[in-house]
Structure 1
Amino acid sequence: MTTVESSAAVPSEALRQLSAELPDTCERLGYVRKMTEQAANKVLDLVDTGRDAAEQVRRQGADLSEMLSRHATAPELTLERARSMLKLCAAYAATAAAFAEREKHIHAEIMQAQDFQDLSGQVINKVVRMLNQAEGPLNELLAQLPAPDKATEAEALAGVQTPDKALQQDDVDDLMASLGF
């Protein structure tokens, strides 16, 4: 076995191994993308829910505060009116406590929605390691390939140059119409 053949065996074996790992790696990255999307959507939904509930509690608090201020400065404050205001305060306090409890659960769910991060970090690290391992053998393989012929490359990029082989405007218009444009 010559030196060129023996050095070609190393990159080809490494490339074969990397090629076998690529489908699993792509699947893992797809999983990370899916989990990231699901977590982001869940967090956004939870934040929207919490924001709506916070606005409701804020509005109730502002209304209660305005009503208490108005009645506190009234010349006559009957015992019945004072009890009625205390009942409203108690109801608002219960609403605020329930809101705080819901928010506590929402924040816990937001934290749980982020639990994929550890797993996705592990998957991304594995993909980065695999790509780093692929870089050397790919560079070695590319170094063993003959350099591209500049004249051949230029000809390949030139495309159709003769008027009889070029598309006519009518052909282009027909193609665009068939595609719905």
Structure 2
Amino acid sequence: MTSSNTPSSAAAQALHKLSSELPDACERLDYVKRMTDQAANKVLGLVEDAQEDAEAVRRQGSELSESLQRLAAAPDLSVERARAMMRLCAAYAASAAGFADRVKGLQTEIMMAQDFQDLSGQVINKVLGMLRPAEEPLQQLLAEHDQLHHVAPEAEQLAGVQTPDKALQQDDVDALLAEMGF
């Protein structure tokens, strides 16, 4: 008695469309996951590199500071010792400038590693576009099924993200679809 205009027919069509699009949606979400993992690993590696460079510059700065303090306290400061300290200061300044250049480059690479965000957002929007049209027909189909089988509706059904202990099991979903002729 169902015509092509009845809710169950529309729900069935939506479910068929959804079932044909699910593999593509899963593949897209796997792609987003891989992109996110790659970006996170790249950023973590870049930060570790920057931390090693920062530690080297910190250590050199501490050593130079101690040497300058000793030299300033020495009663017999010769021109040659002062020149040697000036060379150490110049070397440290060059090292610090090189560190700043490397950090600037690392910051650029970190920003570039975040380019996945735009792409992952696009992919997620596409997957949501696949899933949203099936939500209402699926709820209607389930409501019709519940009415036909005198099942009391549960407030937790289709309540969004589920914890593993409250989520429907695959066997439950398969049995429900089998009862509905899918």
Name the CA distance, whole Å, in 2 between partners of 1:12 and 1:72: 87
Letter in 2 for 1:109: E
- Structure 2 stretches of 5 or more lacking a match? 153-182
User: CA 1:144–1:5 in structure 2 vs 1: closer, same or farther (change >3 Å)?
Assistant: farther
Are the equivalent residues in 1 in contact too, given 2:29–2:123 (CA < 8 A)?
yes
Q: In structure 2, what is the equivalent of residue 73 of structure 1?
A: 73
Partner of 2:49: 49
What letter is aligned with 1:147?
H
Corresponding residue for 1:143?
A: 143
- The Cα offsets for residues 32-65 of structure 1, whole Å up to 9 and x where unpaired, read as 0001011111111110110011011001001001
How far apart, CA to CA, are the structure 1 residues paired with 2:118 and 2:140?
A: 34
Compare CA radii of gyration and give the structure with the larger one. Answer: 1
Deviation at 1:94, TM superposition (A): 0.7
> Given the two structures, how large is their TM-score scaled by the length of structure 1?
0.77
User: Are 1:63 and 2:66 an aligned pair?
Assistant: no
Count of residues in Structure 1 that have an aligned counterpart in Structure 2: 148
| TM-score normalised by structure 2 residue count | 0.76
Q: CA RMSD in A?
A: 1.6
Amino acid at match of 2:149: A
Aligned equivalents of 1:110 and 1:89: distance in 2?
Answer: 31
| 1:113-128 mapped onto 2 (5 Å cutoff) | 113-128=113-128
Query: Which protein has the bigger helix share?
Result: 1
Q: Distance in 2 between matches of 1:113 and 1:147?
A: 53
Q: Are 1:5 and 2:3 matched, yes or no?
A: yes
- Structure 2 contact 14–138 (Cα < 8 Å) conserved: no
Match of 2:17, SS state, is helix
Amino acid at match of 1:103: V
